[in-house]
């Protein structure tokens, strides 16, 4: 068995306030939920949106992730 972790970054510019951001997060979560539904290979998934700063997109190859 080989384990992998898929990491997706989606930067969004939302016109509106916190309610509009919450709707966008809910929409993204529903999209991911539809992808993993019935997929026997997915053992865990989660979606979280946070405020972002700056206009330079991150380079996933250079990002470091830690497990707590």
Per-residue model confidence as pLDDT tens digits over 8-26? 999 999 998 899 999 999 9
Instruction: Single out the residue of 46, 44, 52 nearest to residue 21, CA to CA.
Output: 52
3: which residues sit within 8 A by CB, 6+ positions away? none
Please give the Cα distance from 53 to 57 (Å, whole number).
10
| pTM score | 0.76
pLDDT at 36 over 90: yes
pLDDT at 68 over 90: no
Cα-atom radius of gyration of the chain, to the nearest Å? 14
Other beta carbons within 10 Å of 10: 9
Digit-coded pLDDT (tens) for 42-67:
999 999 998 888 889 989 999 888 77
In this predicted structure, what is the pLDDT of residue 26? Answer: 95
Is the distance from CB of 42 to CB of 49 less than 8 angstroms? no
């Amino acid at each position: 068995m080989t384990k992998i972790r898929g990491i997706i970054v989606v930067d969004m510019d939302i016109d509106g306030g916190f309610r509009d951001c919450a709707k966008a997060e809910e929409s993204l979560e529903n999209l991911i939920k539809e992808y993993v539904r019935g997929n026997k290979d997915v053992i865990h998934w989660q979606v979280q949106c946070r405020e972002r700063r700056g206009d330079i997109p991150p380079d996933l190859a250079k990002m470091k992730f830690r497990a707590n």
